[in-house]
């Protein structure tokens, strides 16, 4: 052992209020669940937990889809699993892009050989659903991949009309609901969404590393038409069934095999991340204990208080307000203010983290997340107080003392239930 290694102490992390659009603070109940002893991945005590997770996912996704289960990996693992399992080389994929995470769909689709078609709209806005529908009619894609809540710009794309059109035009609609799931309405069945991907580290207040997905029979049909069980565990029957099929190109993200682990067959694939399953189980219990409607209302209330405080301070909100995400608030950095300097004063003096943005918005906006466990009155008041003080420290001119009063007015009118 080197001297340096010998001097290392037990891990100790500074206390933080994480008010970014993810990751967010993990609920203490989730942390407690994660400290449970590990179970074997085929132990009936564990498979019962898996079944309960599936059941709770169906309720949270507001779906009857049998296939509602998590992918082990971060949210992009969920995105990649769905795209890898649907796209065969040469398949047409339409991606309406209104921020960074639309580009991520393009990136993944390209790598699996999709013929990509994109439409774009300015960052800070979303698409008129009719524009997406016209593009679908023109391109006739196998898959439309659309982000529900675009965290890079804080906008939320309406999905219902697009979902209906996809059903009528026999196109599969794949939705990234990573940043809305558990914090805003995601009506999988009512909006005709074929596959939806979410994430743990945002409104569920679970650590990053687990990505719940759901998909319907239309998606399952494509997946099963590509099914190939891994060599080392395939039966003769599996081998015969797979003969002549073009298998899914990824092994890790092969939903046809993952389905077999999440079914009564319990076919071995990778070693399940059991502690993350415990975390998700508790995260979902928290959502359903609170109730979806009540939870969404809580997110809207804290969003309203935050926005009132930001504006009362004299700062301007970024983006079209008619399509604002309730879970992410974007604030324009005032002229002459260094965005990163303010963020570091906020972190170093108050232990509060907010985010910058990407691409053309880098240095131009701050993004504040009000998600899950972090979506609370005390956190909103703390971030407003800290932001005001940090701005003053960095030489910005703000209306002093107004922000907290404006936010408290919002809470007084509608006390937190």
Ligand X SMILES: Cc1ncc(COP(=O)(O)O)c(C=O)c1O
Nearer to ligand X, 103 or 402 (CB): 103
Query: What's CA 2's distance to the chain center, in Å?
Result: 41
Query: What's phi and psi for 357, nearest 5 deg?
Result: -135, -165
Tokens of 233: 């565990």
Q: To the nearest whole angstrom, how small is the minimum distance from the Cβ of residue 23 to ligand X?
A: 8
- Binding string, 98-117, against ligand X, x = CB under 6 A? ---x----------------
Nearer to ligand X, 78 or 309 (CB): 78
Contact present, 277 and 49 (Cβ < 8 Å): yes
- Count, residues near ligand X per rule CB under 6 A: 13
Question: Measured between alpha carbons, how far is 171 from 132 in angstroms, rounded to an integer?
Answer: 12
Question: Measured between alpha carbons, how far is 201 from 207 in angstroms, rounded to an integer?
Answer: 5
Choose the stretch contacting ligand X; rule: CB under 6 A; options: 69-77, 222-230, 256-264, 312-320: 69-77
Applying the rule CB under 6 A, the residues between 125 and 184 that interact with ligand X are 147, 149, 151, 176, 178-179
- Can you list the positions of beta strands (E) in 77-230? 92-97, 115-120, 143-147, 149-150, 155-156, 172-176, 195-197, 210-215
Q: To the nearest whole angstrom, how small is the minimum distance from the Cβ of residue 105 to ligand X?
A: 9
Question: Measured between alpha carbons, how far is 21 from 332 in angstroms, rounded to an integer?
Answer: 16
Q: Is residue 372 part of the contact set for ligand X (CB under 6 A)?
A: no
Q: To the nearest whole angstrom, how small is the minimum distance from the Cβ of residue 159 to ligand X?
A: 14
Q: Which of 76, 117, 269, 281 binds ligand X (CB under 6 A)?
A: 76
Query: What's phi and psi for 202, nearest 5 deg?
Result: -110, -110
Q: Which of 118, 125, 208, 344 binds ligand X (CB under 6 A)?
A: 208
Question: Measured between alpha carbons, how far is 258 from 255 in angstroms, rounded to an integer?
Answer: 5
Question: Measured between alpha carbons, how far is 393 from 402 in angstroms, rounded to an integer?
Answer: 17
Nearer to ligand X, 197 or 248 (CB): 197
Nearer to ligand X, 58 or 76 (CB): 76
Q: Name the residues that contact ligand X, by CB under 6 A.
A: 22, 74-76, 101, 147, 149, 151, 176, 178-179, 199, 208
């Amino acid at each position: 052992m080197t001297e340096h290694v010998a001097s290392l102490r037990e891990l100790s992390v500074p206390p933080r209020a994480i008010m970014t659009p993810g990751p967010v603070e993990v609920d203490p109940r989730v942390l407690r669940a994660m400290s449970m002893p590990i179970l074997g991945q085929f132990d009936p005590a564990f498979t019962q937990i898996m079944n309960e997770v599936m059941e709770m996912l169906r309720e949270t996704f507001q779906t009857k889809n049998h296939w509602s289960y998590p992918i082990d990996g971060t949210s992009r693992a969920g995105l990649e699993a769905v795209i890898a399992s649907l796209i065969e080389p040469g398949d047409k994929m339409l991606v309406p892009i209104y921020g960074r995470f639309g580009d991520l769909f393009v990136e993944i689709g390209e790598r699996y050989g999709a013929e990509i078609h994109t439409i774009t709209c300015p960052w800070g806005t979303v698409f008129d659903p009719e524009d997406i529908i016209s593009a679908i009619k023109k391109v006739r894609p196998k898959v439309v991949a659309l982000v529900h809540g675009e965290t890079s710009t804080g906008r939320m794309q309406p999905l219902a009309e697009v979902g209906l059109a996809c059903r009528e035009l026999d196109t599969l609609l794949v939705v990234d609901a990573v940043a809305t799931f558990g914090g805003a309405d995601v009506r999988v069945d009512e909006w005709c969404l074929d596959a939806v991907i979410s994430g743990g580290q945002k409104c569920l207040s679970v650590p990053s590393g687990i990505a719940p997905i759901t998909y319907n029979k239309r998606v399952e049909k494509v997946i099963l038409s590509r099914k190939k069980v891994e060599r080392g565990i395939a039966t003769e029957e599996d081998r015969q069934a797979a003969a002549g099929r073009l298998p899914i190109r990824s092994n890790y993200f092969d939903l046809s095999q993952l389905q077999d682990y999440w079914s009564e067959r319990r076919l071995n694939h990778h070693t399940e991340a059991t502690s993350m399953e415990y975390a998700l189980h508790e995260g979902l219990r928290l959502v359903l204990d609170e109730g979806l409607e009540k939870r969404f209302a809580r997110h809207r209330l804290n969003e309203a208080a935050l926005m009132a405080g930001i504006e009362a301070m004299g700062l301007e909100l970024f983006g079209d307000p008619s399509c604002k995400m309730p879970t992410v608030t974007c604030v324009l950095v005032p002229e002459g203010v260094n965005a990163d300097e303010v963020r570091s004063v906020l972190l170093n003096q108050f232990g509060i983290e907010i985010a910058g943005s990407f691409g053309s918005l880098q240095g131009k906006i701050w993004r504040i997340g009000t998600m899950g466990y972090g979506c609370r009155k005390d956190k909103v008041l703390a971030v407003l107080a800290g932001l005001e003080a940090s701005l003053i420290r960095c030489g910005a001119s703000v209306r002093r003392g107004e922000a907290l009063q404006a936010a408290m007015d919002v809470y007084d009118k509608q006390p937190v239930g």
